[in-house]
Structure 1
Amino acid sequence: MKARRGMVAAVLAAAALVLSACAGLPASGPVNPGLAAGDDAFSPEFLFRPDEPQPGATPEQIVDGFVRAGSGPGPAANWDVARMFLAPSIRETWNPEASVTIDLPDARTTVSPTEGAVALSLVAVATVDQAGAYQPAEAGATQLSFRLAQQDNGEWRITEAPDGVVVDRDVFANVFHRYSLMYFDPTWQFLVPDVRWFPTTNAATRISKALVNGAPSPWLLDSVRNAFPEGVSLARPSVPLESGVAQVALSADALLIEPATLDRMQTQLTASLATAGVSRALMSVASAPLEAEPVSTRSTRVTGPPLVLTDEGFGFLAGDELTQIPGLSAAMANVTPAAIQVATDRDFAAVRLTDGTVARVPATNGIAVVDVRAGLVNPSADPFGYIWSVPRDQPSAVTVFSVDGQQFPIADAWPGATQIVAMAVSRDGARVAALLVAGDRTEVRVAGIVRGDDNRPLRIGDPVPLGALPGAGSGLAWLDDVSLGVLTARPEGPLFTEQLVGGPSATIEAPLGAASIAGATSISSVRLRAEDGSLYVKRGANWQRTAGGILVLATQQGSPQ
């Protein structure tokens, strides 16, 4: 038994080293290419087998062993070791996939207040529900209750246990992986990711099942479209990979679907499975392939040099050379910007001027001040030409401004917040994020955007908290489609947090004086401007100063097609 425990400890130590080297869970980066034929997408490099129940174990030891066994080998073997700790009466009815509680390592304690009862105390950092949605947990201890009984052989076994598993935070990334279910925005132009966490085994099956049989996360439900009709479902319980191609068998109702919808279904399926390393998918009904091809979608990538305002003008800075944007750079010379966000097609910019007002600066004539309220935060431009603006001390007073100058209030935005530091619309126009103060907490929240005619924003859905921040908020930007960059200020120096929308965050120190932030889908995904005009880019875990004299670091909502 000692030898086995030694081997388990060694493997766990190796896991900790691997995880620490990764500096947290991945929260950004390009889609991985497809795997070679026959490879198992995102297979764990190793699996540890926890100890089985030991003869003479006490009730506390049985519960402790059961909880530890929830981490592995897990779904690969239907949590067979964990089930050994259960009495026959609940061995088959216990549902390990009901939820995941992610807790701090070495913070678990067990007590037995009465014979046959055990209470497990732990510190949860997050939960993952049955649909794979990640939710940060409120700080504080959580208690789980168990009942046990001695079996005919005198050994204690669990007779009552909560469904779901508890997984150590440092082991979670070996058992579960981040995937994105891809939905369309209401205009069928953009793909919008909905991040889910599934066990690393049978990823293609879990993704396909969630996409075809399931629904978008509740906070996104009214902001995206699913091409898969409600009457269509998976015809088989699994999605096998044959020569690297996911074989997705659908119910007979799929035969009645029009070609345009089939193509959109193929688009969602291909893009979703790509996050598991599967490059192709074949839809079929009763073994007969369905003819479908992925449709073209609008890109949300931001590539190339940073977009800045200097004494020489406004444009893309590469080395010492500034490349201007036709029309827009000339128009920017006619205003005094404090913050700039450039629209996808670079035909206009949403600008906060140095006098505090918000203006629309088009690439052609017609600069217009659209919001003159006091204390406005930096504005945001969405893909459909609307400018979003809100006063810092009135988080619920969000207003959007159309191209023709009309203004429309967004009712009841950001409930419970007392102050808003920053607000940013995603590049697909389906989501909006905010850096808020609520009580004594600074936190990031995200909400879906509900649109009406002419793609006009009508309201935002119920905001989802992504996590509290270690300091006073000072800046927010979308880095890519699934992650946000956040700047916070502390007396000892600023911090940069990379926050996954639907996942954990990772925080590192930022350069001294860091004051504004912009994101890009390139090697240097994060760009910071310091108060002295220095420009920094993030390369790996380090910051590199690349330029000086930057008056404004602009953010971009994409690149022209």
Structure 2
Amino acid sequence: MTFRRLVAALVTGVLATSLAACAGLPMSGSVNPGLDVEDEAANPDFAFLPDRPQAGATPEQIVDGFLRAGSGTNDDWATAKLFLTTAFREEWAPDAGVTVDAPGQRDITETGDGAVTATITPEAVIDGDGQYQTLDTGESSLGFELEQEDGQWRISAAPDGIVLDRNVFPRVYHRYPLMFFDPSWQYLVPDVRWFPTTNAPARIAQELVDGAPSAWLAESVKTSFPDSVSLASPAVPVDGGIAQVSLTQGALSLDAESLDRMQTQLTASMQTASVAAVQMSVPTQVLDADTVSTRSTRISGAPLVVIDGVLGFSTGSQLTPIEGLSDAMETVEPAAVQVSADRETAAVLLTDGRAARVGADGTLAVVDERAGLVAPSIDPLDYVWTVPRGEPTAVVAHSADGIALEVGEAWPGAVQVTAMLVSRDGTRLIAALRGGESSWVAAAGIVRDDTGAPVRLGEPVVLGELPGAGVGLAWLDDATLAVLSSDDSGPVVVEQIVGGTQSSSDAPAGAVAIAGSTSAASLRLLDDQGNVSVKRGVTWTTVVDDVEVLASQQGSPE
């Protein structure tokens, strides 16, 4: 059974305990926190060189050495293959996926003549396409068969894929965002994948050109690569920082706009693999293409706050209002505010619990009067998104002309939604959810019609568990969230990669609201005493006081 086929088996509760000829690696379960974000960001300056099999090694030692050799990705896991019989080396697929297990908890036992079982505690899996999923399945067993070859024990049957412990994984695999376009072709949207650092440009090109967006995101983004074009060569040599991507002849029939968008996707996707530029070609010639201009989702400016009823950017003791919008905001009593990228509109939760749209032209429209609304969010097409805390499936998007659209298939299985946020590019909806005694953060793609109107959400994906109820959500960048969570021990800030790992740190006592900026270093928190803090090293420092509302921004004016 292959790595991918085992996903279905585990979803139905069947845990693989058979031998490799009939089993793969575990791929389902509830969610638990993964690796620290900091552990995966830095590029290593070394490659693992695992030990080769030793003469006279027992079956258990051979299996142990084989598992450890999964860290050696050079030459298609050449060292790991030395632990296999000559015949099985051609069958084993190391790049089928990765199981990340808990360090120091492997138990390798010979269960019969030439049969060995390795018991591990999986914490996450990465499938053959590089997609990450955290796990909490408890112990899992992997079966191996061995036989004598030239007087030495060698593995003749094993699961596809490799096993890496949590401490080794971030030094062997890194995250690389595949860049797709939003439906309007204005924004680049990251789809985070995890690949070995030794061959990252080739894997990025393979998944971008010949692959597809992750299933949960596929209906919400576009790719410029048509089915008629594929990689002409799996190799992507990089010379002087320039990656050479060879495509099939179908690329010659594409128009300049399509080629430029392809160039843009490849160039942006490979930046994190130390690639400065991309040159596309077909076997007969180099393709002439340039990158296209895309809209940025970065935000600028000092903390955006409401003080004495006035909305503005706080710099020192000065409050700088937003032209038009700040005057309009003085006509309402806000409990939460999110400002559109062009700063022409604000989605506002009023102190009486209603949601409203406030315009810089002085217009005010109450869009939702349902009880128990969480803070609303506004997208690039000026839709204001609302949902009641106790009705997670009752998501509504309100257009600028007053039409309320029920967004179907939202957050199945959740009992409560405690915070909700649209991505700055308008392709994804994020929610902090609760069910039973569990809290988690989830993402879903926003499916729109040809006019840009939201129709429904794609199937949600759980990103990670939260230590307590989610109080607020904020974007740090297009692929990283900050979640303010609170339980009996106090508030915590959770950094969650959309499609990856999670880390957490303490928040100031009494933290009640969160706003993002361009990095974790500029994250802002509001406490119940009206103080806005930012993190300086390991300490939270107050930068503004007497704040009534900490507002968030969905981008900056172009």
Distance of 2:274 and 2:69 partners within structure 1: 28
The one-letter code of the counterpart of 1:318 is T
In the alignment, does 2:457 pair up with 1:460? yes
Aligned twin of 2:12: none
Aligned twin of 2:245: 248
Distance of 2:49 and 2:278 partners within structure 1: 33
Shift of 1:495: 0.8
Aligned twin of 1:50: 50
Aligned twin of 1:347: 344
Shift in alpha-carbon separation, 1:545–1:24, aligned structure 2, 3 A = farther
Aligned twin of 2:447: 450
Give the SS at the match of 2:374. Answer: coil
What are structure 1's unaligned runs of at least 5 residues?
1-19, 27-41
Aligned twin of 2:39: 24
Question: Contact 2:378 / 2:384 at 8 angstroms: preserved in 1?
Answer: yes
The one-letter code of the counterpart of 1:465 is V
The one-letter code of the counterpart of 2:544 is A
Shift of 1:409: 0.4
In the alignment, does 2:153 pair up with 1:138? no
The one-letter code of the counterpart of 1:503 is G
Aligned twin of 1:71: 71
The one-letter code of the counterpart of 1:25 is E
In the alignment, does 2:288 pair up with 1:291? yes
Structure 1 length-normalised TM: 0.91
Aligned twin of 1:422: 419
Aligned twin of 1:17: none
Q: Percent same amino acid at aligned positions?
A: 53
Which residue of 515, 540, 543 corresponds with 2:540?
A: 543
The one-letter code of the counterpart of 1:424 is L
Moved more, 135-144 or 448-457: 135-144
Give the SS at the match of 1:453. Answer: coil
Give the SS at the match of 1:90. Answer: helix
Distance of 1:53 and 1:273 partners within structure 2: 36
Shift in alpha-carbon separation, 1:343–1:396, aligned structure 2, 3 A = same
The one-letter code of the counterpart of 2:114 is G
In the alignment, does 2:253 pair up with 1:264? no
In the alignment, does 2:92 pair up with 1:94? yes
Aligned twin of 1:311: 308
The one-letter code of the counterpart of 2:447 is V
Shift of 1:138: 2.5
Question: Contact 2:120 / 2:139 at 8 angstroms: preserved in 1?
Answer: yes
Shift in alpha-carbon separation, 1:258–1:540, aligned structure 2, 3 A = farther
Shift of 1:219: 0.9
Question: Contact 2:309 / 2:333 at 8 angstroms: preserved in 1?
Answer: no
Distance of 1:65 and 1:466 partners within structure 2: 33
Aligned twin of 1:12: none
Shift of 1:542: 3.3
Which residue of 120, 126, 130 corresponds with 1:122?
A: 120
The one-letter code of the counterpart of 1:52 is R
Shift in alpha-carbon separation, 1:217–1:402, aligned structure 2, 3 A = same
Distance of 1:225 and 1:360 partners within structure 2: 30
Shift of 1:310: 0.8
Give the SS at the match of 2:65. Answer: helix
In the alignment, does 2:226 pair up with 1:229? yes
In the alignment, does 2:235 pair up with 1:220? no
Deviation digits for residues 240-267 of structure 1, max 9, x if unmatched?
1223211112111111001111111111
Shift of 1:459: 0.6
Distance of 2:37 and 2:407 partners within structure 1: 40
Alignment of 1:148-167 (within 5 A): 148-153=146-151, 155-167=152-164
Deviation digits for residues 529-550 of structure 1, max 9, x if unmatched?
0111111112344322212111
Give the SS at the match of 2:167. Answer: helix
Question: Contact 2:105 / 2:120 at 8 angstroms: preserved in 1?
Answer: yes
Distance of 2:325 and 2:331 partners within structure 1: 10
Deviation digits for residues 184-208 of structure 1, max 9, x if unmatched?
0001111101111111012221111
Question: Contact 1:240 / 1:246 at 8 angstroms: preserved in 2?
Answer: yes
Give the SS at the match of 1:25. Answer: helix
Aligned twin of 1:494: 491
Shift of 1:552: 0.6
Question: Contact 2:241 / 2:274 at 8 angstroms: preserved in 1?
Answer: no
Distance of 1:182 and 1:500 partners within structure 2: 15
Distance of 1:381 and 1:312 partners within structure 2: 21
Aligned twin of 1:189: 186
Deviation digits for residues 444-466 of structure 1, max 9, x if unmatched?
11011100132111011001111
Distance of 2:58 and 2:482 partners within structure 1: 48
Shift of 1:43: 6.4
Distance of 2:419 and 2:40 partners within structure 1: 25
Alignment of 1:390-401 (within 5 A): 390-401=387-398
Which residue of 430, 433, 454 corresponds with 2:430?
A: 433
Alignment of 1:315-394 (within 5 A): 315-394=312-391
Give the SS at the match of 2:64. Answer: helix
Shift of 1:297: 0.9
Distance of 2:51 and 2:273 partners within structure 1: 30
Aligned twin of 1:8: none
Distance of 1:131 and 1:265 partners within structure 2: 20
Runs of 4+ with >4 A deviation:
20-23
Give the SS at the match of 1:46. Answer: coil
Question: Contact 1:116 / 1:148 at 8 angstroms: preserved in 2?
Answer: yes
Distance of 2:127 and 2:520 partners within structure 1: 33
Q: CA RMSD in A?
A: 1.6
Question: Contact 2:432 / 2:469 at 8 angstroms: preserved in 1?
Answer: no
Distance of 2:147 and 2:112 partners within structure 1: 12
Which residue of 286, 300, 310 corresponds with 2:297?
A: 300
Shift in alpha-carbon separation, 1:269–1:497, aligned structure 2, 3 A = same
Distance of 1:395 and 1:548 partners within structure 2: 34
Distance of 1:48 and 1:232 partners within structure 2: 36
Question: Contact 2:40 / 2:171 at 8 angstroms: preserved in 1?
Answer: no
Deviation digits for residues 9-51 of structure 1, max 9, x if unmatched?
xxxxxxxxxxx9985333xxxxxxxxxxxxxxx8631223222
Question: Contact 2:533 / 2:540 at 8 angstroms: preserved in 1?
Answer: yes
Shift in alpha-carbon separation, 1:83–1:382, aligned structure 2, 3 A = same
Shift of 1:436: 0.4
Question: Contact 2:476 / 2:520 at 8 angstroms: preserved in 1?
Answer: no
Shift of 1:125: 1.3
Shift in alpha-carbon separation, 1:422–1:549, aligned structure 2, 3 A = same
Deviation digits for residues 360-406 of structure 1, max 9, x if unmatched?
01111220111000110110100001011000000000011000111
Question: Contact 2:476 / 2:519 at 8 angstroms: preserved in 1?
Answer: no
Question: Contact 2:36 / 2:501 at 8 angstroms: preserved in 1?
Answer: no
Give the SS at the match of 1:64. Answer: helix
Question: Contact 1:51 / 1:65 at 8 angstroms: preserved in 2?
Answer: yes
The one-letter code of the counterpart of 1:129 is D
Give the SS at the match of 1:524. Answer: helix
Aligned twin of 2:171: 174
Distance of 2:489 and 2:217 partners within structure 1: 38
Give the SS at the match of 1:147. Answer: strand
Question: Contact 2:339 / 2:553 at 8 angstroms: preserved in 1?
Answer: yes
Aligned length: 524
Aligned twin of 1:526: 523
The one-letter code of the counterpart of 1:485 is A
Deviation digits for residues 275-330 of structure 1, max 9, x if unmatched?
21211111112252212111111110012211100116111111111110001101
Shift in alpha-carbon separation, 1:227–1:537, aligned structure 2, 3 A = same
Question: Contact 2:475 / 2:481 at 8 angstroms: preserved in 1?
Answer: yes
Give the SS at the match of 2:68. Answer: helix
The one-letter code of the counterpart of 2:69 is A
Distance of 1:24 and 1:139 partners within structure 2: 23
Give the SS at the match of 1:118. Answer: strand
Deviation digits for residues 95-126 of structure 1, max 9, x if unmatched?
10000001111111122232322221111111
